[in-house]
Amino acid sequence: MSAMEYKLLRIFVFLVIVHVLSACKFEKQREGEAVSASKIDSSLESLQEELNILEDVLYLYPIPGEIIEGFFDAELEYKSGLVNSVEKKDSYLESRSQALNLGIYITDLAYSAKFGLTGEALGYLEAVYSLGTRVGVSTEVFQSLLDRAKENISDSDSIVHISNEAFYQMIFFLENSNKENTLAVISVGAYIESLYLVLETKELFIEDDPVFTQIGDMKYPLDNLLDRAKKLEGDKNVASIISYLISIHEIFDKLVVDETETAVSKKEGKLVINGGSTFNLNAENFMEMKSAIRSIRAEITTI
């Protein structure tokens, strides 16, 4: 028996004792009933699952607020009419469309907050609350954020902070209640909306515009999303959104890559990681990506 198995066995025995004791103390009404073996099995499985996850690589999700901020700090202006209407929130009836549109709304929340449209942002926070609870996120996660947003409606910095907090809290809740599948679908919705807002804000491709370098950088979070989704493809909702990610990935694969070896140097006493890959868009890539994202986004948001 390995050290890990021994450790797990000890925890298993401990959990058995805990459940026996808790059954004795709290379940008088079920006197004589055997301690549920399946409950203990699922506890052990859950622990084993978490340890297995930790043995693997954790692909971290991008936060829409940070993506939006990164892009729209770079001289991009607000464009009206791009965000998905909050009026549609009650029309998404399937768990798949609810999770995808939750990702879309949470990005629209970040977008509205970024441009100081606090009233609109509040509407998106309410939509996030509504869809969030329908996909299984506890109401407690959003209630305090909603209350804080209402109290700070005139303070756009607070609303930006609250919009980021909404996503952190959601990740925290879903990861820790074994709803990784839902989180993967939400994150794909958020990623698609982030790209949609940026691509639709730009009318034409302009060489040397740093925004297009940033769009090329979006390949990295896409890789993480795809790798993580593939690990969860046993879930039908996740399986159904992998095709979106693959079709976007195929466009990124067409970009010309400038590659230099990654190396570490010291500059004025500071460690600097140099080199790596730059994914260069041209006008054709830009138009193809814009059209693909527009079509995927329409498929997701259309009722």
Which residues of the chain form contacts with another protein (CB under 8 A)?
Answer: 3-4, 6-7, 10, 14-15, 18-19, 21-22, 39, 42-43, 46-47, 50-51, 54-60, 62-63, 65-66, 70, 164, 167-168, 172, 175-178, 217, 220-221, 223-224, 227, 261-262, 264, 267, 270-278
The CA dihedral of 286, 287, 289, 290, to the nearest 10 degrees, is 110
> In terms of CB distance, is 51 or 303 closer to another protein?
51
> In terms of CB distance, is 66 or 155 closer to another protein?
66
> In terms of CB distance, is 29 or 80 closer to another protein?
29
In 140-156, which positions are buried (b, 16+ CB within 10 angstroms) versus exposed (e)? ebbeebbebbeebeeeb
> In terms of CB distance, is 115 or 220 closer to another protein?
220
Taking the complex as a whole, how short is the minimal distance between the CB of residue 211 and another protein, in angstroms? Answer: 13
Taking the complex as a whole, how short is the minimal distance between the CB of residue 153 and another protein, in angstroms? Answer: 23
Taking the complex as a whole, how short is the minimal distance between the CB of residue 111 and another protein, in angstroms? Answer: 16
Q: What is the Cα–Cα distance from 86 to 125, expressed in whole angstroms?
A: 10
According to DSSP, the residues that pair with 281 across neighbouring strands are none
Q: What is the largest CA-CA distance in the chain?
A: 76
Taking the complex as a whole, how short is the minimal distance between the CB of residue 65 and another protein, in angstroms? Answer: 8
> In terms of CB distance, is 170 or 238 closer to another protein?
170
Return the closest-CA partner of residue 103 out of 235, 290, 245, 297: 297
Q: Which helix (H) or strand (E) holds 130?
A: helix 118-134
Taking the complex as a whole, how short is the minimal distance between the CB of residue 85 and another protein, in angstroms? Answer: 27
Are 245 and 226 within 8 A, CB to CB? Answer: yes
